[in-house]
């Protein structure tokens, strides 16, 4: 769905209102969405769609994810502690076990990805040949 410039600007303004010093304030966001849905101003569906995109990007930016080939002993708590120390407290933490990783870890913080998996190294080797 294409969004017009006015709806994009309105969504950005509303998203800024929903932020606090600590990050995204869920209660403010819920109130803003409820108010827009109730009032139904012109182009409100576009505004709500863009607002949802911005909120999703904010949550992804503050999510720490660890992918491994086997279940980690402490559930990844030691890794998450190091990530929290370096990047700050996340909104969400996820661990995932994938057998196709073969070994090692893949760590994702927002859009940054550190791939130290055996599969990633083999693929990089294959691309370099």
Model pLDDT for residues 50-61, shown as the tens digit of each residue = 999 999 988 888
Model pLDDT for residues 85-128, shown as the tens digit of each residue = 888 888 788 899 998 888 899 999 888 899 999 888 888 899 98
Buried b / exposed e along 21-32 (16+ C-beta atoms within 10 A) = eebbeeeebeeb
């Amino acid at each position: 769905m294409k969004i017009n410039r006015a709806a994009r600007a309105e969504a950005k303004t509303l998203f800024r209102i929903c932020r606090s010093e600590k990050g995204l304030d869920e209660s403010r966001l819920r109130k803003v969405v409820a108010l827009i849905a109730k009032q139904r101003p012109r182009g409100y569906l576009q505004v709500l769609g863009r607002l949802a995109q911005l909120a999703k990007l904010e949550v992804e930016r503050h999510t720490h994810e660890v992918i491994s080939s086997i279940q980690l002993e402490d559930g990844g708590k030691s890794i998450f502690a190091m990530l929290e120390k370096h990047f700050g407290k996340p909104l969400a933490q996820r661990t995932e076990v994938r057998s196709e990783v073969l070994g090692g870890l893949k760590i994702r913080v927002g859009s940054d990805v550190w791939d130290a998996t055996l599969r990633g190294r083999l693929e990089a080797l294959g691309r370099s040949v």
